Structure 1
């Protein structure tokens, strides 16, 4: 009996364990892990589940524009049809006028737009239509011109402003001329001003060797640049003349593509004009008349200040010798007046007179430190040296006894000067500019005066532009009178053969040819 009882204990105990497990009445020790898991479970139960949804703008763009749902108007342009919505299109004054006036299209659900502007593309239409369904638009520099053209057509000022920002930020050697011409076409004055100022700063620094960019510059744009007193003429006026000579050659031979690594290629334009057989100055030939204006904008009196400059200018026979002889005569007359009558020099000339007649010269300072330089050429007996030291820019009237017969012996010489200093970024955009007012100075021999103290914001490399007026300016030259009368006649479409009298002789260089024949 006792044995039976002992045998029954085990199965009863086992049964009791199962029951306890089922009912949960059996107690067990709780550890920290069980507590944490319990809390996490409770947290998961009571935390709301978040599901990322499209924003309203994203939904509108995807559903109404991309998927074209519930469209009430179809627009065809450049052979493609967009299924759109009038309520969104009416953000554009172009479409708003179309759908809310007495036009035929007002009551149609299909319209066709004839695109006359070749700059507008399918991609730019897609981007601009899509922008009406969104509050933002991404514009790549490579597509900014088509987008601007499209936004201008549909009168979308918000997109035009965005294009303006992109163009200003990406103005560089590759884009400057293209952006300028585009801004003129679409009336974007801010881009026009920005790119023009960029070209004033960089024309002589870059385009004298980068022919592929130089050849893109139109006659009108180049004339405006050459005429500007704010042009940074790196070195002297002769540097500007050589750039014009190369530009002129690219107009005659548009396929000219020199290898920038071969210096001889850059001499091809000079060799062409120097070896030309015709004794008539090129600008006075029928092929050259179109290009008179940028050469006329040169300050020719500063092309005869150095014997090598004169040699090349006369040898090229691009500019009429009669124009140059006029300046040679005035130059010599001015030297004599300064030497014999002790003419004091210009003081307080009108700003417009100074800007038109001053000598433009410039230099690049790659790094800080003591530097001094002069620009070569006979400057009416006034040897002026620029000095940069400890961020101070000064000018000195240099006078050495051994060169006294070449220099002005006057105790004091008066002249006027203006200086502009700019620092640039990697795209050669101006980051900071400091300039002086027009200063009237009177210097004794070897006297030095400070022009400006450079602002700490100026960071090297620095581009320095100096305008100097050291003699009283002359009146309008025969060259300017001739060009003005010629422009009037050409604007009236008068045939060259009918331009009679002295103008015909000057135009075809008959007087010069006659003189040369007499000499021979």
Structure 2
């Protein structure tokens, strides 16, 4: 026969990969470019070439980036590479909110996005509302795969598209429509309790009309009863708490340390109008209860001893988004009185690399 036709069981296998995998039987080593590693992995898995599979694993470990992370993740799932799957998921948790691009948003499928959003390890630089904003852009790109434009135009175009759709639907929440139902499992991972206690964020949620009202009513009820309990009984937490975050109930927020210079920022309005100041100076990170005098609708701010359950995480990433430095605390109970300062992280004698992403998870105790 001049031509032999082979039906491959895997669409990732192509003629070149089959040729290279066959040649590997007669070579001590071979060069696998990152752009060819998925095809080579598929072929080696079919032929049970363990040495080639291991070489693919090493290439993937060294070359994970925004351009390769999704294809590596999906391949690792298909061919049972648990180490690569875990590594790619961690990359997405570190980078999805810090350097997200249009291309990356297009490649992340529904199941993967659900896993990323559900994780308390997601590096949120800002507040929970930023997770919702990112999800809205991601959903737009999934629905409009032909969209092209500058990244700066993505958000206004997303808002315009959903606004037009909302007018056509006459008030039906988008996630309850035929097009929107597929995205329900992903948006159900949003931590709405930490979004709607900010007035502007709550208004955006209602104006967008993406989420069903049935999701919001229980959250508003909890938020109303919580301040009432705080105001009338002064019981914001149990005396003894075994702190963990097994169900993803923590509030995620963050900031950045651009250099080894003194800086500070403030996380506002969580845990019944309490503002927490984060200070960095002389390689120490300090939490301080804010003494700023401002008007609140309920007079619970700074009236008595406050407690916080928190986990602090620091990360530095290289140009490709891979972690070169990590440091974290376990979940800790932190008691703060008015104007009190407490050190929560000491970076002395640490091999610190700036820029540092500072992420914190706060547990809402009541």
Q: Compute the TM-score of the two structures, normalised by the length of structure 2.
A: 0.93
Q: 2:291 aligned with 1:412, yes or no?
A: no
Shift of 1:424: 1.3
2:158 maps to 269
Shift of 1:274: 2.9
Unaligned runs of 5+ in 1: 1-73, 81-111, 473-520
Contact kept? 1:399, 1:407, Cα under 8 Å: no
Shift of 1:303: 1.1
| Alignment match of 2:209 (pick from 317, 339, 342) | 317
Q: 2:352 aligned with 1:458, yes or no?
A: yes
SS in 2 for 1:437: coil
Q: 2:141 aligned with 1:250, yes or no?
A: yes
1:151 maps to 44
Q: 2:121 aligned with 1:227, yes or no?
A: no
| Alignment match of 2:219 (pick from 327, 330, 336) | 327
Distance 1:348 1:256, change over 3 A: farther
1:236 maps to 127
Shift of 1:325: 2.2
Give the number of aligned pairs: 361
Shift of 1:309: 0.7
- Report Cα offsets for 1:168-205 as digits up to 9, x if no partner: 11111111111111111111111100000000000011
Distance 1:350 1:258, change over 3 A: farther
| Alignment match of 1:282 (pick from 166, 171, 174) | 174
Contact kept? 1:346, 1:470, Cα under 8 Å: no
- Mapped to 2, the partners of 1:288 and 1:415 lie a distance apart of 37
1:446 maps to 339
Distance 1:347 1:191, change over 3 A: farther
Contact kept? 1:417, 1:466, Cα under 8 Å: yes
Distance 1:334 1:156, change over 3 A: same
- Mapped to 2, the partners of 1:411 and 1:376 lie a distance apart of 18
- Report Cα offsets for 1:432-482 as digits up to 9, x if no partner: 21100111011111111111112522200111110012423xxxxxxxxxx
SS in 2 for 1:254: coil
Distance 1:352 1:220, change over 3 A: farther
What do you get for the CA RMSD once the two structures are aligned? 2.0
Q: 2:29 aligned with 1:140, yes or no?
A: no
Distance 1:133 1:287, change over 3 A: same
Unaligned runs of 5+ in 2: none
| 1:319-398 pair list within 5 angstroms | 319-345=211-237, 349-353=241-245, 356-398=248-290
Q: Highest Rg: 1 or 2?
A: 1
- Mapped to 1, the partners of 2:29 and 2:250 lie a distance apart of 49
Contact kept? 2:120, 2:252, Cα under 8 Å: yes
- Mapped to 2, the partners of 1:281 and 1:402 lie a distance apart of 36
Shift of 1:113: 5.0
SS in 2 for 1:205: coil
- Mapped to 1, the partners of 2:303 and 2:58 lie a distance apart of 54
Instruction: Name the one with the larger helix percent.
Output: 1
Distance 1:427 1:346, change over 3 A: farther
- Mapped to 1, the partners of 2:199 and 2:12 lie a distance apart of 49
Shift of 1:345: 2.4
Shift of 1:408: 2.1
Contact kept? 1:418, 1:468, Cα under 8 Å: yes
1:304 maps to 196
Q: 2:184 aligned with 1:184, yes or no?
A: no
| 1:125-136 pair list within 5 angstroms | 125-136=18-29
Distance 1:350 1:297, change over 3 A: farther
